[in-house]
A and B are shown apart, each in its own frame.
Chain A
């Protein structure tokens, strides 16, 4: 069964360093998302991406964050200069036009980011 894959599963970094989290969405999906979940807290929306541009972003998604679909398969989230409060599980998700009507999002297994 097709699935959203994310790498790395866990990354530890020093405060101020840049990190790139990678996602390979399901191949026929058109809409891509990043969510994050700080330990013990809610899953929070970061950004949605369609047709090679950001369609919506939350207040969390400030200038330190960027997304890119460099090669038609990968979908990346970059954090330019990490802060301690960026430590969280980052989930990539995708869906098709039809799934948007059902509301179903297909989530990856997540990338745990630990900022020291």
Chain B
């Protein structure tokens, strides 16, 4: 059974801190690893990673994939209160349509 595990489950930091969120996966016919941000309801897309070692970057957020060790990290530098959200990691497979999600990491930024 495909599995995605995220850690930590929750994280509370002060504004300006840097955080690293972890995602490990066990997925047959792995295709890609995706990160989503879920603030109130709808998850919004952040990154898709398919190749090892290539960092994807968007502003203060960056992510990288290690296909040998089967994990990905999401880094957020200089955190702001608007970064408070649940961050979801999901994996996709070749040959089917679905995404397999982790339970998410709840990030709280204290002003």
Contacts and interface: CB of A to CB of B under 8 A. Distances in A.
Contacts of A91: 42-43
Nearest to B49: A103
B103 A41 contact: yes
Contacts of A42: 101-104
Which of under 10, 10 to 19, 20 to 34, or 35 or more describes the interface residues of B? 20 to 34
A45 B103 contact: no
Interface in B42-57: 42-45, 48
B34 A103 contact: yes
Contacts of B43: 43, 91, 105, 107
Given A33-B97, A48-B98, A104 B42 contact: no
B48 A102 contact: yes
Interface string A19-41: 00000000000010101000001
B105 interface: no
B42 A109 contact: yes
Contacts of B32: 103
A65 B32 CA distance: 28
Contact of A43 (B92, B96, B97, B101): B101
Which of under 10, 10 to 19, 20 to 34, or 35 or more describes the interface residues of A? 20 to 34
A14 to B, nearest CB: 25
A42 B48 CA distance: 19
A40 to B, nearest CB: 8
A90 to B, nearest CB: 11
A45 B100 contact: yes
Contacts of A45: 97-100
A105 B90 CA distance: 11
Interface string A93-116: 000000000111111111000000
A29 to B, nearest CB: 14
Given A48-B97, A105-B99, 15 more contacts: A4-B42, A42-B101, A42-B102, A43-B88, A43-B90, A45-B98, A45-B100, A48-B98, A56-B96, A89-B41, A91-B42, A103-B31, A106-B45, A107-B43, A110-B42
